[in-house]
Amino acid sequence: MHSDRAPLSLKVAAGAGLLFLHLPILLIFLYAFTTEERSYQFPPPGLTLKWFAVAWDRPDIWPALRLSLAVAALATLIAMVLGTLVAAAMAQSRFFGRDQISLLILLPIALPGVITGMSLRSAFSVLDIPFSTLTIVLGHATFCIVIVYNNAVARFRRLSGGILEASADLGATGFQTFRHVLLPNLGSALLAGGMLAFALSFDEVIVTTFTAGQQQTLPIWMLEELVRPRQRPVTNVVAIVVFLATVIPILIGYSLTRHGSETAGAGK
């Protein structure tokens, strides 16, 4: 008799794999509550909530948080527009070199972040563009576009071209077709792509290091605090904030696309 239940050994292996992946995150959460300020003693000598208040009162955290939110929002907005336009062109058209162009579109998310960062830094230097919020946004947009593109192009390919022709036959303008036909069908895919792009931009470190100049996003602030720590538990508290700001959009994006064939752009 066939059984759909997984064998015990497979369950144990899956559990061990999950523990290996997530135990470091659990330790970060644990040491955000430790009473010890300088070292990571295990088990912690005591637990406290005071570091959350300390983090709230640290004036150097808030500018970094605001910059991270602004960069992620702008990069996501650029990605939503350009990623959707590119997806429409690639899904609705057939032309020579289409597969090669598709590969070039996906390349920024496949390349190591250090290569992307070095390339962007060289380009900004050649073009004499000073490092600022704009350069960070442009750097993040390179891989955010891929995330939105992956979701949008999968949804475009599921749409029948007949509905666009029917809309035109009924006298709808291009804008009316976009608003009443395309947008409702693309809505969940674009929302999922935007949330995933926001999450990846918010916690990006490598590309930001090459494009930020003297500015500090929240992940860069965390990196510097790890190198020259002032209050280790505060860094862990901020790590929890970054974790939640990253995971929540990803979970929402997954819930929006899990019943369809959209791709989430995994690989970054």
Q: At what angle do helices 218-227 and 232-257 cross, to 10 degrees?
A: 140
In a domain, 128, yes or no: yes
How far lies 11's CA from each of 2, 8, 89, in Å?
A: 18, 5, 44
In a domain, 131, yes or no: yes
Q: Count Cα neighbours of 30 within 13 Å in the Cβ-side half-sphere.
A: 13
Range in 24-33, 156-165, 209-218 with the lowest mean pLDDT: 156-165
In a domain, 212, yes or no: yes
In a domain, 7, yes or no: no
In a domain, 47, yes or no: no
In a domain, 266, yes or no: no
**Distance separating alpha carbons of residues 159 and 261, to the nearest angstrom:** 12
Q: Is the pLDDT of residue 60 over 70?
A: yes
Per-residue confidence at 4, pLDDT binned at 50, 70, 90? low
**Distance separating alpha carbons of residues 8 and 152, to the nearest angstrom:** 40
Q: Is the pLDDT of residue 152 over 50?
A: yes
Name the residue range of residue 225's domain.
Answer: 55-257
Structural domains in the chain (count): 1
Q: Is the pLDDT of residue 264 over 70?
A: no
In a domain, 3, yes or no: no
Q: What is the pLDDT of residue 78?
A: 92
In a domain, 193, yes or no: yes
pLDDT, tens digit (0-9, with 9 covering 90-100), for 24-46: 788 878 877 777 766 666 777 77
Domain of residue 239, CATH code: 1.10.3720.10
pLDDT, tens digit (0-9, with 9 covering 90-100), for 93-150: 676 767 777 777 777 777 788 888 888 888 888 888 888 888 999 989 988 888 888 8
